[in-house]
Structure 1
Amino acid sequence: MNPGNPVYDYMVNKEPYYHPQGDEIALFTAAYARRLPVMIKGPTGCGKSRFVEYMAWKLGKPLITVACNEDMTAADLVGRWLLDAEGTRWQDGPLTVAARYGAICYLDEIVEARQDSTVVIHPLTDHRRQLPLDKKGELIQAHADFQLVISYNPGYQSLMKDLKQSTKQRFAAFRFDYPETKVETEILVREVGIPEQTAEQLVALAKSSRNLKGHGMDEGISTRLLVYAASLIADGVPATRACRMALMDPITDDEDIRSTLEHAIDATFN
């Protein structure tokens, strides 16, 4: 890609480590070949964002990521007029940059955004592949390399926080979950470099916590948190302390759940 292209800086130049769980790499590649918009659903920290980053690297395409939040407006996505010393000037938002110059635009945890801000993606997700900039009076025809990818955690959806059917049915979808035990163990060994036995112990703790979902916990220990704990252990932090810091304290303040996790940690590493 030409260094003069505005999305050149968004290239993923180093291969991110990603361990496939099935045929998702081939399926995403096929979706990108047709520039189909893709939706990835799965629990917190199960590898959704890492997968998108890996696919951008594998396809050799720039990746523009937007962390969605409840204060995000349509202008934050498409752009706005700004006032400076020379008068007013238009500044493209991340979605507009991706559509105009050709990048994968990844809207992470899209249900966190207000519904009135996400409807702007609709014209980009059907045969039109267009982005109207109403405030600027411009209609962008999406670049041939543009693709839209969104993700969210269906475990948190509610009547107030969910995608409209009119939005969902514009996407092909992947459903992710936490990796199988063997795969998750391999991820920790490869990602951090800890001994396989330690990785197996951490994964066993995570599996136990996930069984508590719906019994006092909204989510169990994620693969992301396991990587944090493994990193601390690799740097010399005692395993029990690393687990309390990275696996227990971030996910619950409930005394009964904490007691259960404390017991599991001590039984595993003492």
Structure 2
Amino acid sequence: MTSMSGAGAIAAQTDHLADHLADHLAEFRIASEPYYRPVGQEVELFDAAYQARMPIMLKGPTGCGKTRFVEHMAWRLGRPLITVSCHEDMTASDLVGRYLLDAEGTVWHDGPLTLAVRLGAICYLDEIVEARQDTTVVIHSLTDDRRILPLEKKNEVLPAHPDFQVVISYNPGYQSVLKDLKESTKQRFGAIAFSYPEPAIEAEIVAREAGIERGTADMLVRIAQRSRNLKGHGLDEGASTRMLINAGLLIAKGIAPAQACQVAMVLPITDDPELRDALTAAIAACL
């Protein structure tokens, strides 16, 4: 009787854990297809990398569609997606988990990385270069043939679920001595390069996402191209596709195009009066 009761208790705990994980899976699944307009072979490359469970790095400027692409691929592959927005104060415990006090005492709480490893989710570390290097090394054992996550505080080694994959995004434009990935991290990943789409495709995306006429989208793209020509001449980055969509959304709500461009494309990227004047002149020339 005692052994049967013990077996029954273990079975009940196993069923409870399975239900708990199933609830988490549902929470992180993407219900409807996120719009993404392919501009090259990135869909096929990511699909092949996922089939091989290869860790992937998405390299490209801010606002060019890297995050939307990951969301689209998670939906396409039918996998849950757990996204972590990296920052300089993030610790390894923020990723892996920690013991916390609650009504029942001290209880272990999985971090997002550990949860993804258990569930077989895609773990997306957004702008990983913003995190400290002593934090990002926690992914090393997951991005080689070991595919394990040591939980040192639990004295446990967690094998990755067969469907687990790590994806990171990285903006080479922010590369510096202080903010860059270690070579030992970079070389664990395959990489897919992203950039702003060619004008016709970018206008198609802006018109679709902002709900504006194609001619207006073409005009916004022309403005963006002029701002991107100023990169390295006072601007760290030109206007991104995301900024064009924001300007389009304002225009769709009745804001005059010149004012919408100021709010969404000029004021956010520079405080320099001369650059603002140059961008304002570019807007006037394109209207």
TM-score (norm 1): 0.97
1:4 aligns with one of 22, 38, 41: 22
Instruction: Identify the residue that residue 43 of structure 1 maps to in structure 2.
Output: 61
The separation in 1 between residues aligned to 2:107 and 2:133, in whole angstroms, is 27
For the Cα contact (< 8 Å) 2:202–2:241, is it kept in 1? yes
For the Cα contact (< 8 Å) 2:34–2:72, is it kept in 1? yes
Matched to 1:29, the amino acid is D
The separation in 2 between residues aligned to 1:7 and 1:53, in whole angstroms, is 15
Q: Do residues 180 (structure 1) and 228 (structure 2) align? A: no
Runs of 4+ in 1 over 6 A off after TM superposition: none
The separation in 1 between residues aligned to 2:40 and 2:104, in whole angstroms, is 54
1:141 positional shift:
0.5
Q: Do residues 82 (structure 1) and 100 (structure 2) align? A: yes
For the Cα contact (< 8 Å) 2:244–2:265, is it kept in 1? yes
The separation in 2 between residues aligned to 1:2 and 1:195, in whole angstroms, is 46
For the Cα contact (< 8 Å) 1:7–1:98, is it kept in 2? no
1:157 aligns with one of 165, 175, 187: 175
Q: What SS is found at the alignment partner of 2:259?
A: helix
Q: Do residues 247 (structure 1) and 261 (structure 2) align? A: no
The separation in 2 between residues aligned to 1:259 and 1:4, in whole angstroms, is 55
Q: What SS is found at the alignment partner of 1:28?
A: helix
What root-mean-square deviation, in Å, do the aligned CA atoms of Structure 1 and Structure 2 show? 1.3
1:132 aligns with one of 119, 125, 150: 150
The separation in 2 between residues aligned to 1:7 and 1:72, in whole angstroms, is 24
Unaligned 5+ runs, structure 1? none
Kindly tell me: are residues 3 and 115 of structure 1, through their superposed partners in 2, closer, same or farther at Cα, counting changes over 3 Å?
A: closer
For the Cα contact (< 8 Å) 2:210–2:246, is it kept in 1? no
Identity of aligned residues (%): 63
1:2 positional shift:
9.7
1:6 positional shift:
1.9
Q: What SS is found at the alignment partner of 2:140?
A: helix
Instruction: Identify the residue that residue 208 of structure 2 maps to in structure 1.
Output: 190
Greater share of helix: 2
1:101 aligns with one of 115, 119, 123: 119
Q: What SS is found at the alignment partner of 1:128?
A: coil
Q: What SS is found at the alignment partner of 2:178?
A: coil
Q: What SS is found at the alignment partner of 2:238?
A: coil
Deviation by residue 1:234-267 (Cα, 9 ceiling, x = unmatched):
1111111100000000000011110001111122
The separation in 1 between residues aligned to 2:124 and 2:185, in whole angstroms, is 15
The separation in 2 between residues aligned to 1:7 and 1:152, in whole angstroms, is 27
Deviation by residue 1:164-204 (Cα, 9 ceiling, x = unmatched):
00000000001111111011000011112211110000000
Q: Do residues 71 (structure 1) and 97 (structure 2) align? A: no
Q: What SS is found at the alignment partner of 2:195?
A: coil
Matches within 5 A, 1:137-148: 137-148=155-166
Matched to 1:213, the amino acid is K
Structure number, greater radius of gyration: 2
TM-score (norm 2): 0.92
Matched to 1:97, the amino acid is L
Instruction: Identify the residue that residue 243 of structure 2 maps to in structure 1.
Output: 225
1:3 positional shift:
8.1
For the Cα contact (< 8 Å) 1:42–1:175, is it kept in 2? yes
1:138 positional shift:
1.0
The separation in 2 between residues aligned to 1:107 and 1:55, in whole angstroms, is 15
Instruction: Identify the residue that residue 27 of structure 1 maps to in structure 2.
Output: 45
Instruction: Identify the residue that residue 266 of structure 1 maps to in structure 2.
Output: 284
1:169 aligns with one of 175, 187, 190: 187
Unaligned 5+ runs, structure 2? 1-18
Give the aligned length: 269
The separation in 2 between residues aligned to 1:39 and 1:86, in whole angstroms, is 40
For the Cα contact (< 8 Å) 1:14–1:57, is it kept in 2? yes
